[in-house]
Chains A and B, each alone.
Chain A
Amino acid sequence: MSADSEQQSIRCLVAKVGLDGHDRGAHVIARAFRDAGFEVIYSGLHNAPDEIVQAAVQEDVNVLGISILSGAHNTLVPKIIDGLKEYDAFEDTLVLVGGVVPDDDKAELKEMGVAEVFGPGTPMEETIEFVRENAPER
């Protein structure tokens, strides 16, 4: 009946998980995503994995960007992924990790279901482009 114009918008959760308190990078990426026209939900510091899962599910984000600099990715990321699966939210959420991740771990994270890992020095455009191309439809 109606011809309401659709207003698809890419929604991203930028999450800091665990104990590290360095959120400059998360702020920069949140701002860059905003300027790219995305809707960004920023989780704040020191989130537990289940908080991230709760936020990702309730906000129905297409993209979950996890920022970790503490090296605890191997323990924290799997917990988040399991949580997303529990709520049937894993399949259509693009999970990204940003931070300092050794190459060996990178492969392991990807095997787990992380779509991409962005290390230090990644140009912002590269991340944005990746999101644009891979964000699941809603």
Chain B
Amino acid sequence: MSAEPDHAELVDELLAGKHRALARTITKIENRAPGYRNLVSQLHQHTGNAEVIGITGSPGAGKSTLVDKMANYYRERGETVGVIAVDPSSPFTGGAVLGDRIRMASNVGDMEVFFRSMSARGTLGGLSTATTDAVKALDAFGKDKIIIETVGAGQNEIDIVKSADTVAVLVPPGSGDDVQMLKAGILEIGDVFVVNKADLKGADRTVQELREMVHMQEDNTANLATGHHGAGAIPDDENDDSDADAEVDEPESWEPAIVETIAKDGEGVEELIETLTAHHDYLETSGLLEDKERMRYAEEIRNLLRDDVGNLLEAEIERRGGMDELVAGVVARETDPYTVADDIIDPIEDCMDQLGDRDE
């Protein structure tokens, strides 16, 4: 639409490396400001170069402290870092205190670490829908590594797999008995498990329990992984820059790694980062990275369409006198929810059918 700003200037400034423009872009994304979709569209062609790492785990697991140390480590290697830290928002007022920035002590004054706090703004799953778009902004800006730190929500916080290449799950020592390890959810999504605060009592047991859990998972998938050297031997069509011949005996399935850290002292951070890098290499050589990307975009397109169709339906509901009107009929037993839904969707379906006929 011509009424919407196209943000060309903002995009130019962002691509030119202006921090202010990057910050403002993320704000527009968060606010769903007019024209924000166009803005993200323009960024898309400049993305695809960053490695995206998700850090999740229960509240108090030490995510922020670990992220700080990781960012610092990457910086010492000369890489630039973007961090998005999501914190919960109040279900009553929408307000939020975003407190993770406090723990970024190692990177204070270093503008090459772009740290951005985001409020979950009411989304379930602990990951704001805007987070993925904000990652794109950081990617287009040229950050080498992007770390997403989720809300410390809990057991079902699995949205992060949709946004990150590699997911690290922080498991503090003594976090429940071995039944917790059997449960579905967050423990299924970890590519790397980090037993942080490894100096605390119970850390050994937690590591042991995770190890058992990982091995059970491995047995589960053992049937799926066929042939030991087969998959690696198939030449990938577009493996351009990665020297595939250097690592021929790459394992074709990834066994989730378990790393012990003491984030506050920076202990184990190096090993963690090596493990994360190993996972990323695995994703690249196995072709899974590309698969993930495809899945991610498919999901994104579906989400956008769901939003758009939802909006179309809202407009249609308004045209028919609004939701209150429709509900009144249902309450009075004159009609029922299924019939109302059919009434609204039928004409749209007809339209689609007609379009389909025309195309054929």
Please determine whether chains A and B interact with each other in the same assembly: yes
Checking A40, A50, A87 against B109 with a beta-carbon cut-off of 8 angstroms, the contacting residue is A50
- Further contacts, 20 of them, CB under 8 A, given A39-B98, A58-B114, A59-B101: A1-B37, A4-B32, A4-B36, A6-B33, A7-B31, A9-B31, A11-B27, A34-B93, A40-B95, A41-B117, A42-B98, A50-B109, A54-B108, A59-B98, A59-B116, A59-B117, A60-B24, A60-B27, A89-B20, A138-B31
Rounded to whole Å, the gap between the CB of A34 and the closest CB of chain B is 4
Taking a contact as CB atoms under 8 Å apart, the answer to whether B20 and A6 are in contact is no
Q: Which residues on the B side are within 8 Å of A36 (C-beta)?
A: 93, 95
Interface centre among A6, A7, A41, A59 (most CB of B within 10 A): A41
* Interface status of B119 (Cβ within 8 A of chain A): yes
Q: Check A33 against B95 for contact (C-beta < 8 Å).
A: yes
B114: chain A residues within 8 A (beta carbon)? 58
- Chain B, residues 203-236, CB within 8 Å of chain A (1/0): the string is 0000000000000000000000000000000000
Contacting residues, chain A, for B111 (C-beta < 8 A): 54
On chain A, the residues within 8 Å of B36 by CB distance are 4
Q: When the two chains form their complex, are residues B115 and A58 in contact, meaning their CB atoms are under 8 A apart?
A: yes
| B307 contact from A4, A7, A44, A89, Cβ within 8 A | A4
- Interface assignment of B102: CB less than 8 Å from any CB of chain A: yes
Q: Is the interface of B mostly helix, strand, loop or mixed?
A: mixed
- State A39–B20 Cα separation when bound (angstroms): 19
Q: Are B121 and A40 in contact (CB under 8 A)?
A: no
B31 touches A6 (CB 8 A): yes
Report chain A residues within 8 Å CB of B119: 9, 39
Within 8 A of A (CB), among B80-116: 89-90, 93-99, 101-102, 108-109, 111, 114-116
Nearest B residue to A88 via CB reads B20
Given contacts A39-B96, A40-B95, A60-B26, contact A7 B117 (CB under 8 A): no
Cβ contacts under 8 Å, A40 to chain B: 95-98
Q: Contact between A57 and B31 (Cβ–Cβ < 8 Å)?
A: no
Of chain B, the residue at the smallest CB distance from A44 is: B102
Can you name the residue of chain B whose Cβ is closest to the Cβ of A10? B95
Closest to B85 in A: A41
* Interface majority SS (helix, strand, loop, mixed), chain A: loop
CB-defined contacts of B316 to chain A, threshold 8 Å: none
Which A residues from 1 to 21 make CB contacts under 8 A with B? 1-9, 11
Please tell me if the beta carbons of A6 and B97 are within 8 angstroms of each other in the complex: no
Asked if A51 is at the interface of the complex by the 8 Å CB criterion, the answer is: yes
Give me 12 A-to-B residue pairs in the complex whose CB atoms sit less than 8 angstroms apart, sorted by A's number: A1-B37, A7-B31, A8-B31, A9-B31, A9-B121, A34-B90, A55-B101, A57-B19, A58-B19, A58-B23, A58-B116, A138-B24
**Closest Cβ of chain B: how far from A28's Cβ, in Å?**
12
CB–CB A7/B315 < 8 A: no
**For chain B residues 15-57, which have a beta carbon within 8 Å of chain A?**
19-20, 23-24, 26-28, 30-34, 36-37
When distances are taken between beta carbons in the complex, the residues of chain A under 8 Å from B307 are 2, 4
Closest CB in chain B relative to A55 CB, distance in Å: 6
Other-chain residue from B19, B32, B90, B101 in contact with A43 (beta carbon distance below 8 A):
B101
- The chain B residue sitting closest to A38, CB to CB, is B95
- Residues on A with C-beta less than 8 A from B98 are 39-42, 59
Q: How many chain A residues touch the partner (CB < 8 A)?
A: 37
Contacts of B90 in A (CB 8 A): 34-35, 37
| 8 Å CB interface, A66-119 against B | 87-89
CB distance from A41 to the nearest CB of B (A): 5
Q: Which residues of A contact B26 (CB under 8 A)?
A: 60
- Cα A1 to Cα B117 with chains together (Å): 29
**What 0/1 pattern do residues 159 to 191 of B give for CB contact below 8 A with A?**
000000000000000000000000000000000
Is B1 part of the binding interface, using a Cβ–Cβ cutoff of 8 Å?
Answer: yes
Q: Which residues of A contact B23 (CB under 8 A)?
A: 57-60
A36 vs chain B, min Cβ distance (A)? 6
Q: How far is the CA of A1 from the CA of B94 in the complex (A)?
A: 27
Contact call A34/B97, Cβ cutoff below 8 A: yes
**Cβ of A22 under 8 Å from chain B:** no
Q: Which residue of B lies closest to A3 (CB)?
A: B311
